[in-house]
Amino acid sequence: MPPTTTEASRYQQLRGHLAYLKLADAAEALPAVLDTAKAEKLSTTATLEKLLRIEVQATEARRLTGRLRFANLPTAATLDDFDYDAQPGVDPALIADLASNRYLDSATNILLIGPPGVGKTMLAVGLARRAAEAGHRTYFTNAADLAARCHRAAIEGRWATTMRFYAGPAALVIDELGYLPLPAEAASALFQVVNQRYLKTSIIMTTNRPITEWGQVLGDTSVAAALLDRLLHRSVVIDITGDSYRLRDHHARTDNLRRALRPTTPSQGPYGDHRA
C-alpha cells in the first residue's frame, strides 16, 4: 500500500477527530498548517502547537464576544477615550490602577459621584469593558431597571433566581442612582443586591446625589445607612466636581460669543463686574 493512501486516511481520521471534538477552527486551518509544517520543516510539537493555538484564539474571541454581549454596555466608550484634561478632578493614575482590574480581586467597590455630564457613565462603561476583556463576567444596569426587574421578580415568584442573577457577575455596574425617583420597595431590593455581593464581588455605582442625600433617594434612612456601610467599607470613591463635558462646547460657544460682543472685556465671566 503506498504511503500516501495511509497518509490520506490518517488525514481523514484527524479531520474526523477535530470535527467530533467540535474544533471547527482547527479543522478549517488543518490543511494550511500541514502545508506550512512541511514547507518549513516544523517539528511535530511546533505543528500541534500552531494548530491548537488557532483553536484557542478563536475560542477566546468567541468568549469575549459572548461576555461583551452579556455585559449589556450602553455605549462603545473605552477608558482610552477619556479626556483627563477636560476633567482635572479625575486622577489618571487612579483610573490606570483600576484599569488593571485588581480591585476585582479584593471585591472593592467603585462609587462615582458627580453632577450630570461629567463622565461617570463613561468611566463605568470603560471599567466594565476592561473587566469583560480580562475575562470577568460583567453586567451593566441602572438603578431604575434593577428596581423594576426585582419588582417584577417578586410578583412573578422569581425573587431567588433574580438575586442569584445579580450576585453572579464579578463586576456589576449600577448606573444612575438618584436620577429617577425609586419606588418604595426599590431600597430593599438594592440593599439585598449590595449585601449579597458584599466582600465577594465588586459594584461600580454612579450617582448624581451626595451620599448624605441617599436617605432621601432611597426613601429610608436606615436602609440607606446599611447599604452605604456595605458599599463603602471597601471602596474607591471618585468625586467628580468638574464641568459637564456635554456643556463644554456650549460654554465655549457662549464664551466666544461673549468675547465677540464685548471685545474690550475678554476676561469677564458671566457675573463679571457690571460697574466697569
Chain positions contacting Mg ion, by CB under 5 A:
121
Residue 140 phi, psi (nearest 5):
-110, 130
Shortest gap between Cβ of 80 and ligand ADP (angstroms)? 10
Size of the site for ligand ADP (CB under 6 A): 17
The correct pick among 34, 36, 37, 82 for binding ligand ADP (CB under 6 A) is 82
Distance of CA 245 to the CA centre of its chain: 20
- Residues 177 and 3: their CA atoms lie apart, in Å, by 71
Contact between 83 and ligand ADP (CB under 6 A)? yes
The correct pick among 246, 251, 253, 259 for binding ligand ADP (CB under 6 A) is 246
Residues 188 to 207 in contact with ligand ADP, rule: CB under 6 A: 206
Contact between 215 and ligand ADP (CB under 6 A)? no
Contact between 126 and ligand ADP (CB under 6 A)? no
Q: Name the β-bridge partners of 138.
A: 171
Cβ(144)–Cβ(178) below 8 Å? no
- Residues 194 and 203: their CA atoms lie apart, in Å, by 8
Contact between 116 and ligand ADP (CB under 6 A)? yes
Of all residues in the shown chain, the one whose CB is closest to Mg ion is 121
Of all residues in the shown chain, the one whose CB is closest to ligand ADP is 119
Cβ(219)–Cβ(182) below 8 Å? yes
Shortest gap between Cβ of 165 and ligand ADP (angstroms)? 24
**Closest alpha carbon to 237 in 198, 216, 213, 211:** 211
* Sign of the dihedral through C-alpha 85, 89, 95, 96: positive
Show the CA angle centred on residue 65, arms to residues 138 and 15, nearest 5°: 135
Shortest gap between Cβ of 206 and ligand ADP (angstroms)? 6
Contact between 16 and ligand ADP (CB under 6 A)? no
The interface region with ligand ADP, picked from 10-18, 33-41, 82-90, 147-155 by CB under 6 A, is 82-90
Cβ(172)–Cβ(204) below 8 Å? yes
Which residues form the interface with ligand ADP (CB under 6 A)?
77, 81-83, 86-87, 114, 116-122, 206, 245-246
